[in-house]
Structure 1
Amino acid sequence: MSSSPAALLLLFVFALDLKTERCSAARIGLFGSSGCYSHDVTMRAAGEVFRGHDVAWVQTFTFDFGVPAPTLPSNWHRMIVNQVSEDSTAALHYTKSIIWETVVPMDVRRLWDLRPQWAIFNILRTQHMACYATLRSANFTTFLQQHGNLDLAVVDYMLQECMVGTSALFNATVSVYFSNWPLSDGYVASFNIPWMPSTVAKTSSGLPTHMNFAERTANMVVQIFFLLSHSLQIAVVDVLHSWVGYESDILATESRQLLYATHSEFVIEMTRPISNQIKFFGCQRCLPSDPAKATRRSAEIQTDQLLTLPSSSSSSITTTPSSFTDVGGIDRHLLLRPFIVVTFGSISSVQTMGAHLLHDFMRAFGALNHTVFWQFDGVPPADQRIPENVHLISWLPLKELFGMMNFFAAFIVVSWG
């Protein structure tokens, strides 16, 4: 029998005696992201486990990432406010363009470069104002009256302080913070988890394990920046809620909630003391999903193995337009050989990648002896040659691909940092 974190989450909630002794359906609230497709798909998968229960979906759609929003079950109650504007589009485009040049939200090796801070400031500003507009709407007031007093609230919390405060208005018996991003150092204090000392590199800093004094100082600057940024957001959100007439205390709300984390968060994040607020429910799917038969087994990857790429791979280049595939259009025969998955995350855009960098990636991937599936938004430039073994997919079903027998390796770069 397959298992999912949401199913285990449901069992955990019922173990708290929310609805185990009652015949009526539990009232579940899902508070989605501001438009990030991968986050919404993960949240929808969590909600689909609660079949037979009363599920409400709340979302302020602030940013358009170019991917259609996932379809929600028809029996879910939904409150989706479209707040996409020229301002939010410009903020997202600016962030996408500098991701290839620097580290967002702070580049420790270029502390004088304030573009990452300006980018994250604009993202948060537009997001908070969109959330404020939602709080002021009459539709939200009606929805809150009809679907308040939840048994369980599941919140996509990362960079969503305003949504955290909004979810608290629904008076849920149990709240769980849910995210497929790594734990950020800016949140650990709120969750009552001790911070690591400055000798431990902070998330997204890119600093080495063994740091000199200058690097440790820069690491401390990043830590202070995360703390001040999160504290400022909390203050702003509390003020926004008060303007509408709601009482809000985000810091108190965060400190008493449960945090739900996926396996990837503990792989990426450094080891730290974990408090009883961190709940880890294991694998996404404990059984592989319909694995394809392998024509040959791939060799094990040694941790110290070096991959040497030839200086030129022009012999493997083709300009066939069939290299571009739509969502869900992966040919089954391509999965019969070992393959590599490449993705830069939902927020980064290959369309804003420089032509020289794009060419270097194409050449490097073309030199590999495996099929490469690259999650690629949009269409590559007409003059860009595509290697025969590289297939551009507008959206990759990573969970399914990772469970297949012929999955060889993954090249994943998180957009932020």
Structure 2
Amino acid sequence: MKSRNADVAAEQKLLTREDVRTLMLSSFGGALEFYDFVIYVFYAKVLSELFFPAGLNPFWALLNTYGIFAAGYLFRPLGGIVMAHFGDLFGRKRLFALSIMMMALPTLCLGLMPTFATIGYAAPILLLVLRMIQGVAIGGEIPAAWTFVSEHVPEKRIGMANGFLTGGLSLGILLGSLIALGMAKLFSSEAILNGAWRIPFIIGGLFGLLTLYLRSYLHETPVFKAMQQRKELVTEMPVKVLVSKHKTAVSIGMLLTWFLTGCIVVILLAMPQLLTGSFGFSSTQAFEMQSMAIVMQMLGCVIYGLLADRLGTGRVLIGGIVFTGVMTALFYPALGKYSDSLIFILYLLLGLAAGVAGIVSAAMIRMFPPAIRFTGISFSYNVAYAIVGGLTLPLVQWLSRFSPIGAMYYILPLCVVGILAAGVFQIRYR
């Protein structure tokens, strides 16, 4: 009896020093990968001027640059599925290290490579190749991080670990915004065009390589090593097992990823454009609101994760999505009608509510058995993100033709979809 109580106490204890190190390095690496992936967006106009012919219409140059950015999204599913395949067969750690190397090196190369003025049409071609490699990397990194961390920490801490890790990804977006703002204050537009634009990419690449070195000290997950010892690794192609035996889990994972995408893209990333374009906020106000909302969303990720460990992932998902829907219904109609301070408070609460996206991965961890877990999460997340990630903003823009708060009419139905998916998860997987 005493031994059993000791086992229970050990299971419920706080994370060990090794667990904390694993979580911190995984979160830091994920933040830097997201930084490397999104910093391209902040410098899209600069890149369009430097990597395409000078006589090209600025509209077409910028469109080409965004098209190359989109190529990164298109290669996410391929990268995620291929890397997850080998991760389920040969180990999580190797692919976890490979993903950050494939993100850091192209970012560093982009910061150092010659422009169109030097190498002509080879410049945009190289730019496309680098983004394709980064798309493969980001497709593998996020599912790898969720899987790696979840298989290291005690089962009673999976929610907290995933919340903390997903909050780290949002930190990468925040870092990108802050560095872009700092560069704009330190350098003139001419100085940025003349070479200062390289600094954020070089910083991201060097920090990524540092993280790669630090990750070399991480160990393979206990779950994978146990499967190796018991010879329980899947013998067929993991994706074949996935689509034949886990259709419900894949469907739930894709629907929850759709909700997660709405929280990140619409509520956080696209908000400054709405605030400045339709409701008269200054760029500074919009940036400050966005930055604080990201911080609140990161805090929400951790809070929801802690609650999921205590109350159950399904229940907390349902409650958090309901909270997101309520705050959406309060925030958007308030725009243009109430004081800036009240709108700011409502937006912070909406950001906090949207932190429920941080435990979507905890749900997927529980839906897929260890032998195909990496593949299951990667397939569900990347295929869904590739589809809805590209369609979300055009659809929101279309809805905005009928109402300045068209985004609300996208988020509210999405909350209903999320609640239904979380309800099925609660019934089948808990």
Give me the TM-score of the superposition, normalised by structure 2.
0.24
Between Structure 1 and Structure 2, the one with more strand by share is: 1
Give me the TM-score of the superposition, normalised by structure 1.
0.25
Between Structure 1 and Structure 2, the one with more helix by share is: 2
